[in-house]
Structure 1
Amino acid sequence: MQSYMQGIKNYAREKLIEHAISSLTSQRQESYLVSKDHFTKITDRFNSMLFRFVGGKNIEFTNQYNWQFFGGKNSWFEFYESICRPKTASELKVLYLSGPEPYNDIDILCNKGIRLENIWAIESDKKIYEQAVKSLTDAKIQIKIHRGSLTEFFELTNHEFDIIYFDACSPILSPQQSPLETLKQIFLNRRLTGLSVLITNFAEPKENYHWGDILAPWFAPKEFGELPEIDDDFGRSALEKCASFSAYSNFINQHLDDYYSSFLTHFIPAMASEIIPMWQLSALGSVQSNHLLNEQALQKELKTIKNQQLKADSFKELLNEIPHYALAVDIYPLLNWARLIRENLSADHPLIKFIESNRRKMTIEDSLYICSLLKRFEEADTGFKTFIHNICGEKLKTTLSKLDFFDRHMPLTCDIPMKNLLVELLIGLYGHPYVAHAGKNLSLKYKAKETWMYSDVFVFDQCRYLYDFLPTLDLWESFFENFANQTIIRGCIDEIRRNHLYLNSSLFKWGFVECVDEEFSCADLPERINLNDFEK
């Protein structure tokens, strides 16, 4: 048997683990999406613009605001520091897939300061597990090695890890394995700590699937910033791509490496920051009963929304009949991803099964419709067929209609703060998103034996210093009456968006306080590194 410890694979593993550990230790403060330095700079800029707008005539407002803000800022800094604490390598808890020679990973981990007591190894195959146990016994190494399914382990145990190394060794969609199910359980059951790293390693696509049909639903409704450069050669808008699905699918197949690589880098962060949190929120029975419709009415409305039959004799009638999400596809990217999957893939396809994942009678597909529509709450009165009010309970309609950021109609900030920010704060409060830092991403590619492998290091921040700063929805009105609370929220949203933008541009859209410039820049997303280039 050829040794598992191939040179280039071992080199890749060492780079991935080293980056993961340093991101959580020596570079830990830089890995949080919000820093006290940026927060101070951006809120100072916001306040200076506010005071310039108010002028010297309203001294009472200025004094009261200053008193509220500086007291609130100091209190929030204490809250932030209670969450964003340093860690050493010896405190990090790590899980990885064992394989027949688990010592390879253990050696690297321990050399980087990880303690044996904090290492878990998982192996599902009985024969390989026995080889691994023998290898550990011979080396007199005692760690926690568990025989069983990784998916089941994440679903049914209560362990939380700083680093999970998911070396799938298969494509992200595989009939033999269920990588999507494993990823789902990691985020759904919150198996990663508040600041954590997920390392993934997937094989190149196999010919058992038509990968153009798999990837086209993801890329068709996306904005240009999340598309591979080659997409420019297709030369069509998001709406045109959706309408010419077959042609777009074939184009993707011709450039599969570019699209597959980009999909791995962007889909997993979107799954962690939006797809699973939206599902978490929508599946809560209390959220449905308090803020949406009752279960039966909600399911009836969703069925209507997803099965629209167009009846129009003129272009004007068509505009009135066609759902807004089918016209403005790029502002409903996740909804249209689910829609295009449903329209173009067979009922037994793994992606169909994924979006049909059911929790308390709420599927991922339904939750993407619900939350995508809620994020576009302000489109409800535009005259287009939006369905937004169809899914909202009266209480939520009233709350979202009344609430606004106090500077909404002041020409202060780069972006006008829209109500999608409020909806996303609600999703974050209940859905516990993991938001990846684009600047901390590490993407590698290498050829092991005859197969190209795609590795990514995602550094995730749960941002509880923002989401837990908020009370629950029924208290938002009184909370937002304190303008300083709003400024603190805006300061956090601004930097989260800057550091996440190039992974998922739909998160906290319209959230910038200041434009992107040299002083207030965005984190760049590093390109994937081909390790084989260094062998030449």
Structure 2
Amino acid sequence: MDYQYNQEIKNKSREKLIKHAIKSLTTKRKQSFLLTKEHFSKITDHFNSLLFSTKEWNELDFEFRNQYNWLFWGGKESWSKFYDSNCKPKSVNDLKVLYLSGPEPYNDIDVLCSNGIRLENIWAIESDKATYEKAVKSLVNAGIQIKIHRGNLSEFFELTNHEFDIIYFDACSPILSPQQSPLETLKQIFLNKRLSGLSALITNFAEPGDNYNWGEILAAWFGTRDSLDNPASDDEFGGIAEKTEFYKEYCQLINSHLPEYYDKFITSFIPTLGSEIIPMWQLTSLGSVQSNHLLNEQLLSKELKSIRSYECQADTTNDFIRNVQHFLLAIDAYPLLNWARIIRETFPKNHPLNIFLNSNRRKITIEDALYIGSLLKRFEEAQTGFKTFIYNVCGDKLKETMMALDFFDRHMRITCDTPMKNLLVELLIGLYGYPYIAHAGKNLSLKYKAKETSMYSNVFIFDQCRYLYDFMPTLDLWESFFQNLANQTIIRGCIDGIRRNHFQLNTSLFKWGFIEGVYGNEFGQAMLSDRVNLNDDI
């Protein structure tokens, strides 16, 4: 497709996207972290006020309560210094940027440099030989020296060691495209940690083409998720049960509201890819994690095959409920597992989503990782009598630790959410998987029409949240770490802030992690803004 690179509407979009990214990482940097020290202080003070007002707490030994206070204030001061070491300011001169060159690389360079980015910190990538030669010629004629590389973007991310504050991925194709493979590029960005600890990913995708049944593609995603994650039109159809029973009709509904669903898919899928999908794959493909906390490679592979091929045998309704896979009874409790399952069962092997899910790393595929991670997050269900398969992928040491640990206030019921064991699993995933978690309030979504094609542009501001994950020791030390109740309060404060500012992008991350609700109080939540159509201003 021949896109006009110098169109007024394209330039307007580029200007808005780049300015927002730079501002979020510099002058508004403090507010771009998912957790601020101000919120941490307010929410942990609130937690302690709830705790100190309970009968159970006041019946405890005075010395114990006094020690908690002493440990909490000392721990809070220490954590605050650790936070500062992870969340340092940056000026625009410090920002490193990568973008796709195209034949006219100066368009992006002009906007970047006029907003303070140094030429020395700019990389441009172009894979097509003729386009690359044209780009180099234009740079030579303009007397501009940047780093321009001819090659594949996915390979560049996979095999080089560069880290960027801003990556501008102007795919100019739909998010699923057999020719350009945008999913592979996104995968390599997160897998190889090519974004810095607080960073901006700018994406630009074309509207869906007619080469796929997009209703089926998007139904696999939205038909497995909490209704809060879905477009408004979803309310017309009903809940998970209706979507499962009338799947073809649900696909038709999506096709009739395709721009709305496609918009929402881009805005929710990319943050989930960075915060859950790739981190689960990172954790489970690590051989030492398999041997120490899961099962050895052969056993794990055998168990996963058994889970996928399991067929329920039942003569009565009660038998069916006891013996059917729990992830089929509670589909939205296992959204990523069921998304992967539907794709494998429904789409051809050469479909881009199946190719993506079959990406293999040390004999663990992304699909494998989504099964393992999703099952572990539902550890609470392991002893309910349902067919959960949780213990099938869980090693003895991990099982022992998970059964031994709980947040100390769990049965006191003092917070909005009762903290469940999924929080522990997600802390483990974060420790090893290095998630990138997007800030809903910092998301910028634009739409414009280039020639005859509508384009969907986003700026995602990602925070790696190492002020939480690196505060934790490794799993074998968790029991002693959790014995210090002040450590638990610090963790709860971090989780609350992260979830509060990510919630509108993905409700399943750190589920049951709120200390206080999001409505009717001073804490609130980050609000996701609607996509702005730039053509409306013309």
* Aligned counterpart in structure 1 of residue 312 of structure 2, from 288, 310, 322: 310
User: C-alpha distance in 2, partners of 1:239/1:292?
Assistant: 32
Alignment match, 1:203: 206
Map of 1:12-27 to 2, 5 A cutoff?
Answer: 12-27=13-28
Stretches (4+) displaced over 6 A:
none
Map of 1:137-148 to 2, 5 A cutoff?
Answer: 137-148=140-151
Structure 2 CA distance for partners of 1:500 and 1:386, relative to 1, 3 Å: same
2:457 is paired with a residue whose SS is strand
Paired residues, what number? Answer: 534
Alignment match, 2:33: 32
Alignment match, 1:173: 176
1:10 aligns with 2:11: yes
User: C-alpha distance in 1, partners of 2:252/2:93?
Assistant: 49
Map of 1:389-404 to 2, 5 A cutoff?
Answer: 389-404=391-406
User: C-alpha distance in 2, partners of 1:201/1:519?
Assistant: 35
1:57, distance to aligned residue in structure 2 (A): 6.0
Deviates more, 1:26-35 or 1:247-256: 247-256
1:411 aligns with 2:413: yes
Residue by residue, what CA displacement relative to the aligned partner does 1:64-99 show, whole Å, maximum 9, x if unpaired? Answer: 001100000000000000010100001000000001
1:166 is paired with a residue whose SS is strand
1:489, distance to aligned residue in structure 2 (A): 0.3
* Aligned counterpart in structure 1 of residue 260 of structure 2, from 244, 258, 261: 258
1:300, distance to aligned residue in structure 2 (A): 1.0
1:69 aligns with 2:61: no
User: C-alpha distance in 2, partners of 1:339/1:56?
Assistant: 50
Deviates more, 1:136-145 or 1:511-520: 511-520
Residue by residue, what CA displacement relative to the aligned partner does 1:9-30 show, whole Å, maximum 9, x if unpaired? Answer: 0000000000000000000000
1:524 aligns with 2:527: yes
Amino acid at match of 1:215: L
Determine if contact 2:4/2:450 at 8 Å carries over to the other structure: no
Alignment match, 1:185: 188
1:173 is paired with a residue whose SS is coil
2:314 is paired with a residue whose SS is coil
Alignment match, 1:357: 359
1:151 aligns with 2:154: yes
User: C-alpha distance in 1, partners of 2:208/2:45?
Assistant: 49
1:162 is paired with a residue whose SS is strand
Amino acid at match of 2:43: I
Amino acid at match of 1:114: I
1:409 is paired with a residue whose SS is helix
Residue by residue, what CA displacement relative to the aligned partner does 1:249-271 show, whole Å, maximum 9, x if unpaired? Answer: 12111111111110000000000
Determine if contact 1:377/1:388 at 8 Å carries over to the other structure: yes
Alignment match, 2:423: 421
1:485 aligns with 2:487: yes
* Aligned counterpart in structure 2 of residue 346 of structure 1, from 348, 351, 356: 348
Say what the alpha-carbon RMSD is for the aligned residues. 1.0
Alignment match, 1:301: 303
Alignment match, 1:292: 294
Alignment match, 1:441: 443
Determine if contact 1:239/1:327 at 8 Å carries over to the other structure: no
Determine if contact 1:239/1:328 at 8 Å carries over to the other structure: no
Deviates more, 1:412-421 or 1:247-256: 247-256
1:336, distance to aligned residue in structure 2 (A): 0.5
Amino acid at match of 2:513: G
User: C-alpha distance in 2, partners of 1:415/1:2?
Assistant: 49
Deviates more, 1:48-57 or 1:99-108: 48-57
1:223, distance to aligned residue in structure 2 (A): 1.0
Map of 1:64-103 to 2, 5 A cutoff?
Answer: 64-103=67-106
User: C-alpha distance in 2, partners of 1:374/1:492?
Assistant: 21
Determine if contact 1:221/1:239 at 8 Å carries over to the other structure: no
1:186, distance to aligned residue in structure 2 (A): 0.1
Alignment match, 1:213: 216
Amino acid at match of 1:52: S
Amino acid at match of 1:58: D
2:415 is paired with a residue whose SS is coil
1:55, distance to aligned residue in structure 2 (A): 2.3
* Aligned counterpart in structure 2 of residue 116 of structure 1, from 114, 119, 125: 119
* Aligned counterpart in structure 1 of residue 133 of structure 2, from 122, 125, 130: 130
User: C-alpha distance in 2, partners of 1:173/1:2?
Assistant: 18
Determine if contact 2:347/2:354 at 8 Å carries over to the other structure: yes
Amino acid at match of 1:460: F
Alignment match, 1:48: 49
Structure 2 CA distance for partners of 1:57 and 1:275, relative to 1, 3 Å: closer
Determine if contact 1:168/1:201 at 8 Å carries over to the other structure: yes
TM-score by length of 2: 0.98
1:229, distance to aligned residue in structure 2 (A): 0.6
1:3, distance to aligned residue in structure 2 (A): 5.0
User: C-alpha distance in 1, partners of 2:209/2:291?
Assistant: 44
Amino acid at match of 1:326: L
User: C-alpha distance in 2, partners of 1:49/1:233?
Assistant: 40
2:507 is paired with a residue whose SS is coil
Determine if contact 2:3/2:450 at 8 Å carries over to the other structure: no
Residue by residue, what CA displacement relative to the aligned partner does 1:14-51 show, whole Å, maximum 9, x if unpaired? Answer: 00000000000000000000100000000001111111
Deviates more, 1:294-303 or 1:22-31: 294-303
Deviates more, 1:244-253 or 1:379-388: 244-253
Amino acid at match of 1:174: S
2:305 is paired with a residue whose SS is helix
User: C-alpha distance in 1, partners of 2:487/2:71?
Assistant: 8
2:449 is paired with a residue whose SS is strand
Residue by residue, what CA displacement relative to the aligned partner does 1:345-365 show, whole Å, maximum 9, x if unpaired? Answer: 011111001000000000000
User: C-alpha distance in 1, partners of 2:3/2:512?
Assistant: 53
Determine if contact 2:312/2:325 at 8 Å carries over to the other structure: no
Structure 2 CA distance for partners of 1:312 and 1:60, relative to 1, 3 Å: same
1:387 is paired with a residue whose SS is coil
Amino acid at match of 2:331: V
Deviates more, 1:350-359 or 1:54-63: 54-63
Determine if contact 1:502/1:525 at 8 Å carries over to the other structure: yes
1:460, distance to aligned residue in structure 2 (A): 0.1
Alignment match, 1:475: 477
User: C-alpha distance in 2, partners of 1:3/1:172?
Assistant: 20
2:242 is paired with a residue whose SS is helix
Amino acid at match of 1:221: T
Residue by residue, what CA displacement relative to the aligned partner does 1:472-509 show, whole Å, maximum 9, x if unpaired? Answer: 00000000100111000000000100000010100000
Determine if contact 2:227/2:239 at 8 Å carries over to the other structure: no
Alignment match, 1:241: 243
Residue by residue, what CA displacement relative to the aligned partner does 1:351-397 show, whole Å, maximum 9, x if unpaired? Answer: 00100000000000010000100000010111110000111111111
Determine if contact 1:277/1:427 at 8 Å carries over to the other structure: yes
Deviates more, 1:448-457 or 1:3-12: 3-12
Alignment match, 2:63: 60
User: C-alpha distance in 2, partners of 1:418/1:317?
Assistant: 28
